[in-house]
Structures are given as C-alpha cells and as structure tokens.
A and B are shown apart, each in its own frame.
Chain A
C-alpha cells in the first residue's frame, strides 16, 4: 500500500525528515509515536502534498504510484486521506457543501455517479449518527466555532464519507473525551479490512488499546529509531522517550 524509502525533507532550509523508511502493507494499521517536534506532522504533510516542504531525498509510493509527483487532490483521489492535527476553519463554506463537494470529487474520480443534495444528506446523516455528531454541524461553516473535539470528529466523518484506502490520522485522539475516543476508534476499526490501511500518529498508548496496531514506529529527530509490535507503545508509556532518544 504505502512504501516510504529513505525519505528526507526540509522546511525553510531546515532538515526535518532525515531518511525515513517505512512500509504499510494492505490491511495493516501502523502507529507512529515520537516526541513533540520530531517530524510526525511534517511526514504526514509531505505525504499529503502540502506546499513548502522540499523533498531532498528518497521516495514514497502509494500502490506503486509515485506519491510525491502527484497534486494533493490527485493523492486524495488515489485514496490517501489525512486527518489534520489542526483542522482548518473555512468561514463562509458550509460544512454540507464542503463534504458533498469533496465526496463527489472523489466519486467522480472513481467513476461513480455524483450524489445530489438529498442522496448526500442521507449518507451523511447515517455517518454522523454513528459518530454521535449533531446534525446542525452540517449547516455550520467548516470547523468554524467547532470545539477541539468536534473538529476531530469532523475529520473522522470526512474519512468515513470518503472511504480512503490509506488514512493518516495525525493526533486525531488529542482533545477527545473518553467516549469520543471510543467512538472515533470504532469509526476507524469499522474501516479495517483488506483494502484499508492506516498510519496512526499519537502520543497516547490509550488510543492503541482501542485501535490495536500491527506495528508501532518511534520517530525521533526525523528518523525512525525503533519499530516493533504493540508492546513498543507500552514500553514508551512506562519509560518515556529517554532510552530511544539516546539511540537517535
């Protein structure tokens, strides 16, 4: 599914990613943990195609396609989804209009018919109910005035609607209350299957109790310093980053 090979990137001339190699096979969920500023969000932005990052070496392929050569919308159309650590507010853009435009853009690319307003509403309502989101969030501006947790739920709603092949969840658990955490985890687990993979960025072992990862990677100073099974997260929870930081 996703294959990152020796990827390096700079921001404003500053090296942030220093040779990351990582492979997420079909159907697997991998977690990335690491101290603040280690480059987790940078990795997710580089994969999603945000401007301002210069890839200075290495490669990233998505189902065999050269991910780094594609426009952001092309990556989304190919099945990549990034749940933002800090979802962006879009004043004046209605959430329903935004979600429907996004969904129809993706559907068009898949060769599926576009949904009209009524059809969309039906699908969206069902997904929102599953995420315990009040329906009036459709009427509001995208993320405008949403609480931290509501923004994160709105990200998960987008994931549920767009049905990506690979979801990168950048601290989607931060700011969620305990019930919301379970709801969001259920949302991710519901997607699990042969054709869904995820890269879950988190600071908290607790999320990984609900979304049990196949592998856990530890990112320090733009490099993966340790990889292993779910037990890696438990060790970090106990000992902190001190031991792995020495390794980096």
Chain B
C-alpha cells in the first residue's frame, strides 16, 4: 500500500467521524474541518519530492492503517511521578481525573470542552492550506490543551503529559494545543510524550502559540514515544515585540519522528531559542525542521541542535531562516552537529538562509563526526572502561545544547531522559 491510499484512509475516516467530532454543531469549526479535509485529500501525505520532506518518508504511516479512538479510555494508566501541576492526555484525550490543575494562576483546560470560545484563535496560526500535517490535525483533532495566561502573570511550571496505550488496532490521535501568553506573562511547559512499550500509534499534535509583548514561554519537549510509535508534531509560534519563545526538544523515542517548528518574530526585540538533542538508535528516524521568520528589527535567534546516532539510525536537520527586509539588525545563529556512533548511521542536514535585510548578523554551521579516537584513548588510558568513556564523550557532545536550559525541573527531566537513553543503548549493545 502506498502513502496516497494511506492518506485516503484518513480522509475516509473523517467522512465517517465528521458528525461526531467535537464541535460538530459549530458551523465555523465544521467549515474549518471541511476545508482542511479538502486540502488533505488534495495534498495527501507529503512525499520526498517535496523539498521540505526530502529526507523523510511518511509511507510507513500510510501503510500502518491507523484508527482514531472513538471512546474515551477510562481505565487507570501508569503515569510517571508529577513534578508540577499537570495536564494529562491519554490517547489524545484530556483526562480530568488525572489532571492537577487546581489553584493555577492561569487557565488551562480541555480544548474539547471550550470550543465555542475559540473561534478565531483556533486556526489563526496553523496553516492547513499549505501544510498537510496541519490539515490532517485540523480535520481530525478531538481535544487538546487550551492555555491562557493573563497579562503580567507568572504561570510557573506546567507539565503536559501525553500517554499512548497499546490497542488492538493502531490508533491515531491529533491533539490541538492552543497557548496564549498575555503581555509580560511567563510560563514554563514541560511536555512529555510517551507510550506503552511496543505500542504502535500516531501522535500528531499541532501547537498554536501566541506570545504578546514581553511574554516569555519556555517550552521543553521530551519525546519518548514507544519505539513502534510515530510522532509528527507541528508548532506555530508568533512572538510579539520583546517576547521570548524558548523551545528545547529532546527526540529520543518513536520509530519515526518529525518535529516542525515555525516561529515568526513579529515585533522588535523579540527572541527565539530553538535547541534540541536527538538521540536515536537502530531503526529510528528523527527529523527536526525549523522555519524561522525574522519579520521585525532587532530580534535575536539561537539554534543549537545535537544529534547522536547509533546503529542504523537516520537523523535529519533542516533549518530555514528567513530574514525579511524590515528585520534590520537581526542577530541569528544556527548550529547543527551530529555524532555518529556507528558506521551504519546517517545524518542529513540542510541549513537554508534567506536574507533580505542588509544590516544583519547571521551565522550557521553544521558538523558530522565520529567519536574522537585520541579522546577515547586518553580516557581509557586513565582506566575508564570503554562504555563509560563513550558515555562521557556523548554527554560532553550534548552539553552545549543542554546548558541552554536553566537549572530546574526541565533540565533534570532532560538529563534523566538522556541517561535513560544511554542505558537503553548499552543494554541493546
């Protein structure tokens, strides 16, 4: 079966679910979904002929034959311990019984229960007409998290946990998360995506994030899906003047992952940090694609991505920076480095700079290399066994990206996740 008929299956699924999807009685939403469905029917899944998808083949998703779960799972699920207020999604559905959102300084709720309030904001940033994954999400989303932090409020830390359970038929879920931070507001989101070991599913979240003047969002993402799972996420963030969007993404799980991050810096002195680590082993494919629009003057952007590949892993990084003519005195930096732990691993990277302003500081770089033999020998000559020596050098390779995060829960979670990944590699070796 090819990707086209795989896409047709999602379209068919939409036909069947159309009347039953949340918000089906809202004309504006139905129109939005129908429009997205029409786009998706035309576009299908992106193929490798599309420049932005040159290195990632979605055919396995089309082949897998996913179903959207129709019923809300009520049973108990094993959850990792919470470190802060937490919103929990099981198979893409908000679980009020598992959430700890009382007493927050801001509002965080299930989107499915608040759809009559989001006409306008929903779909304001995502581009289903251009982007097949956003179209797929728009036509089929059933729930998501709706976050609103009022002007000047410090929201503290919120955990967003997505758990996928095992099911007979592979499931697909397409949560839609809407996040707004008012002027001068701040929030840290620690998002964890995980699934029952061995479970095959498609997790296809779309985020629409609006940051008003001087707001600050730290968005940490720990993607630790089941090794048989698929994770396709698309983030659209609009950053107003003086605001900061800080994204850190760890890609450690899933059989295939694509993280697409679109950030638009729309007001002066805004900033965007997109950092991440991809840790992938045999049979995994991880693709990070950033699309950054510098649309206003005096903004700064920093990107540091590190990919560690073991076995027959395949890594991709594509980073596009578009500096508009108005974006004078832009300060942009992009660094993408890969460490190959095996000769069978492969890394593709493609920076893309389009600069239309004349007073701009923009630099980028990419490296791909293996562990340094001299460094390995130096460590081993000091009595450090080979696996531990490797672990030290891998950690050293990642540190530059990890250090971008301030000390705190997010950084702890990340270091734990990295250690966990490494132990998994050792056990597999």
Which A residues lie at the B interface, using CB under 8 A?
48-52, 71-73, 75-77, 82, 84, 87-88, 90-93, 97-98, 101-102, 105-106, 109, 158, 162
Contact = CB atoms under 8 A, between A and B. Distances in A.
A127 to B, nearest CB: 15
A170 B420 CA distance: 39
B60 interface: no
6 contacts: A73-B385, A92-B395, A92-B400, A97-B392, A98-B392, A162-B383
B396 A90 contact: yes
Given A92-B395, A162-B382, 10 more contacts: A49-B377, A51-B377, A73-B386, A87-B378, A88-B375, A90-B393, A93-B392, A98-B382, A105-B388, A109-B383
A75 B377 CA distance: 12
Contacts of A98: 379, 382, 392
Given A50-B377, A51-B373, A88-B374, A105 B382 contact: yes
A106 B374 contact: no
B393 A93 contact: yes
A53 B163 CA distance: 52
Interface string B142-155: 00000000000000
Contacts of A48: 377, 381
Interface in B400-420: 400
Contacts of B383: 73, 76-77, 102, 105-106, 109, 162
Contacts of B392: 90, 93, 97-98, 101
Given A50-B377, A88-B374, A90-B375, A102 B382 contact: yes
Most buried by A among B374, B386, B397: B374
Contacts of A91: 396
B326 interface: no
Given A76-B383, A101-B384, A102-B384, A88 B378 contact: yes
Nearest to B389: A73
A101 B388 contact: yes
A152 to B, nearest CB: 14
Contacts of B380: 49, 71-73, 76
Contacts of A109: 383
Interface residues of B, number: 22
A92 B397 contact: yes
A84 B378 CA distance: 9
B396 A49 contact: no
Interface of B: 373-375, 377-386, 388-389, 392-393, 395-397, 399-400
Contacts of B386: 71, 73
B384 A105 contact: yes
Chain B interface SS verdict (over half)? helix
A84 B382 CA distance: 11
A72 B399 contact: no
A109 B388 CA distance: 14
A90 B378 contact: yes
Contacts of B389: 73
Contacts of A50: 377, 381
Most chain A CB within a 10 A radius of its CB, from B373, B377, B393: B377
A72 B386 CA distance: 9
Contacts of B395: 92-93
B395 to A, nearest CB: 7
B396 A82 contact: no
A76 B378 CA distance: 11
A76 B377 contact: no
A35 to B, nearest CB: 24
Contacts of B385: 73, 105
Contacts of A77: 383
Of all A-B residue pairs in the complex, the 8 with the closest CB atoms, nearest first, are A92-B396, A76-B383, A102-B382, A88-B378, A72-B380, A105-B383, A106-B383, A92-B399
A51 B381 CA distance: 11
Contacts of A105: 382-385, 388
Contacts of A106: 382-383
A248 to B, nearest CB: 30
A50 B374 CA distance: 9
B396 A72 contact: no
A82 B381 contact: yes
A200 B374 CA distance: 22
Contacts of B375: 88, 90
Contacts of B388: 101, 105
B377 A72 contact: yes
A102 B389 CA distance: 10
A50 B372 CA distance: 13
